[in-house]
Amino acid sequence: MCFSVIQVTVRSLGKDCYANVKSAVRQIKMEYSKSQIEQIIFKKFSASFMSDSKWEKMIDKLTDALDREVFITFKLVHDSKSYCYSFCHSDFKPFFAEPTVYKEVEWIEFPDKYEYYVSRDNRKAGTKIYDQNLEEISRALENIGKYELEYLDNSIKLYAYQ
């Protein structure tokens, strides 16, 4: 079973991460049309590295190669907050994580540690810190394709725009 939306505020890499993605992003989505998103991208960035197909291929092949969910934080082009999410496969086109479309994602980051529920079936059991193997993620990404990556001390950041 894949559990995609995390319902807790997570501390990832020392930053608060807003985890109730669907409700938070749904509020933002009401504020931005497709043309407004395109205008923001045009004004803020000079390079684009990802397409819907490239996102979908990366997510599906990465989760297949690792044979498990992959935890990320991501930032939208029109928002200053970062959000938490976990993938077990790509969402339906054109969605990165419904209602967010791929075009809105500025970057994603794979942290080496993340906080998540001890039991998905019993959220009252609390959360714990999990490890994520960045070397394994890095090798898988290199085998999948060419991406604009930044290797940080405790994470790997994949850019869609710069």
**pLDDT per residue over 54-83, tens digit each?**
999 999 999 999 998 899 999 999 999 999
> What does pTM read for this prediction?
0.80
Q: How many angstroms separate the CA atoms of 97 and 84, rounded?
A: 11
Place of tokens 């599906």: 60
Q: What is the DSSP letter of 162?
A: -
Q: Hey, what are 142's tokens? A: 């290199």
Q: What is the mean pLDDT of residues 41-65?
A: 94
pLDDT for residue 19 is more than 90: no
pLDDT for residue 135 is more than 50: yes
Q: How many angstroms separate the CA atoms of 151 and 129, rounded?
A: 21
Q: What is the DSSP letter of 161?
A: B
